[in-house]
A and B are shown apart, each in its own frame.
Chain A
Amino acid sequence: MTSSIVSPHRRLVEAAAATGRYLWGGMGSLAGLALFLALWEATAQQLGSLILPTPREAFATLAQMLTHGSAWSDLAISARRALAGYALAVLAGSALGLAAGASITASLLSRPIVTLLIGTPPIAWLILALLWFGAGDGTPVFTVFIACFPIVFIGAMQGTRTLDDRLRAVAQAFRLPLGMRLRDVYLPHVVSYLFPGWITALGTAWKVVVMAELLSTSDGVGAALAVSRSQLDTAASMAWIVALVSALLAVEYLLLEPIKRRVEAWREFASSSES
């Protein structure tokens, strides 16, 4: 027998095909984006640039801020805070969520707490954080953490909650050692629940950090937005919004979504071959 059952050539072709499908699938999204820009342009022309600048004005302002202003450093500061809070939420939320899912009692106990956390608006946490942490980095980082934590926690808890007993029996019948049980049987299932939670939480982190900065700090994108608001500079405000949304879309569609597709390749087959 040869070991070339799965030839590297074929894998390459499959990968290329998958990338092609992904990019082609992006055409629809691009069309939607174009439609959105057209509507924006039309509305802006009706209302005038003091109320709503046209996309071209917003992009021009953004380009100008990026080349001459402090836009990069503000974005970097916001990203640092968002990622710090997000990383804490991913670590704590995943670990505690997985643990809670492993026990029925723990998941019953934690469910109302998590509902409470999700139901509390981030702005309320922000007020508390301001009282506790003052005007430093602590306030946005904490607010991001507390907003992302329940999202990650729920995904992780569902992951262990829904582990398949039937596959567990397979693992037992074939005497899989612990490491293999975790890696081959439990982990792929858990990851398919964790990953969507992580992605949703990243979006939340990015949104919440700007809100927290707007009210609590003197630097970062949120603070810059506060400044442009006080100067009635709609073009700069729109430019910041465009920068925020673009950054989020770039991370999601260029980084997370391809990873997700790769990790969950088996799901694609599951849905496409229902015979």
Chain B
Amino acid sequence: MAGVRIIERELNIVGLTHRYGPERVIEDIDLSIAAGEAVALVGPSGSGKTTLLGIAAGLITPWEGRVHSTFARPAMMFQEPRLLPWQRTLDNIALGLKALGHPRRERRNAAAALAQRLGLDIADLDKFPAALSGGMQSRVALARALAIAPDLLLLDEPFAALDVGLKHELHALLAAERQRSGVAVLMITHDVMEALRLADRIVVLAGKPGRIVATTEVGRDLDARDDGWLLARTAEFLRTPNLRAAFALPPLPTAERVAS
């Protein structure tokens, strides 16, 4: 497989700085994502995460620095589902396939098959997005992103507004998709547990302007990340001084730090 591939897929960001008017939002960002790798950008609100993702997606032209991507088919999920309100669920899922020029019948079949895999009801496919619950809309947005068989998935906190159960379910779907297709992921989140659940590497962004203050390898197989491990690892990660500083958490009492 690797021998057949001529271009190595990767996303490279070097020396990136961006500003809105006089206000710098991110500064000196170096970040690279290899094929099949999942990177989570974690940071407090206002640390420029969304800007960084927008630049990676090519939606924002950076002020300074170099962004180079050889991924052929990036797909994106936004903070809100952002479905087209005037198109039925099935056509919303098939949107990217239509852009790629797949014929109507073929793309609708593919979309329906994917929708079923993601746990959407057949009956829901004929509804307009406004008739779906928030959780279902997120599912449709995920299906729309996965429909084009992306090699890079850009996620802008898409699960932030969902309840724990739905979040858990969509995390599992995403993890399964990673293992099935080997899609690379760049996700931003302020949920440390979500990052530990899905990513290979966690990059902590903090400050104003946002800079990378820490990088952690998760180093555990995706299927081995059960709830027990996840809770323990999250607790451990939250004790990291860099992370506490990034989120402006009060320092831990000394006794507890010793105990850990």
Binding site for B on A (CB under 8 A): 1-3, 5-6, 10, 166-167, 169-170, 172-177, 180, 184-185, 188-189, 264-266, 269-270, 272-273, 275
**Complex: how many Å from CA A173 to CA B112?**
22
Q: Is the interface of A mostly helix, strand, loop or mixed?
A: helix
Inside 8 A of B39's CB, which chain A residues have their CB? none
> Do B90 and A5 touch (CB < 8 A)?
yes
**Complex: how many Å from CA A252 to CA B244?**
64
**Complex: how many Å from CA A5 to CA B113?**
11
> Do A265 and B128 touch (CB < 8 A)?
yes
- B75 lies within 8 A of chain A by Cβ: yes
> Do A180 and B98 touch (CB < 8 A)?
yes
Which of B108, B122, B148 is in CB contact (< 8 Å) with A174?
A: B148
Query: A5-B122, A180-B98 in contact; A170/B130 too (CB < 8 A)?
Result: no
**Complex: how many Å from CA A198 to CA B236?**
63
> Do A175 and B99 touch (CB < 8 A)?
yes
**Complex: how many Å from CA A189 to CA B76?**
22
> Do A273 and B131 touch (CB < 8 A)?
yes
Q: Mark B115-153, 1 if CB is under 8 A from A, else 0.
A: 000000010011110110100000000001000100000
Query: A1-B109, A180-B99 in contact; A273/B90 too (CB < 8 A)?
Result: no
Query: A3-B105, A173-B59 in contact; A275/B133 too (CB < 8 A)?
Result: yes
Interface size bracket, B side: 35 or more
Q: Which residue of B lies closest to A170 (CB)?
A: B82
**Complex: how many Å from CA A172 to CA B96?**
11
Q: Which residue of A lies closest to B90 (CB)?
A: A5
B186 CB → nearest A CB, Å: 13
Query: A176-B99, A270-B130 in contact; A3/B57 too (CB < 8 A)?
Result: no
A189 CB → nearest B CB, Å: 8
- B251 lies within 8 A of chain A by Cβ: no
> Do A167 and B109 touch (CB < 8 A)?
no
**Complex: how many Å from CA A177 to CA B96?**
10
Q: Which residue of B lies closest to A175 (CB)?
A: B99
- B78 lies within 8 A of chain A by Cβ: yes
Inside 8 A of A272's CB, which chain B residues have their CB? 131
Q: Name which of B57, B95, B144, B148 has the most chain A CB atoms within 10 A of its CB.
A: B95
> Do A269 and B130 touch (CB < 8 A)?
yes
**Complex: how many Å from CA A249 to CA B127?**
32
The 9 closest A-B pairs by CB, nearest first: A270-B130, A188-B86, A173-B76, A269-B128, A266-B86, A273-B131, A266-B128, A269-B131, A1-B109
**Complex: how many Å from CA A189 to CA B87?**
11
**Complex: how many Å from CA A177 to CA B100?**
9
**Complex: how many Å from CA A130 to CA B87?**
49
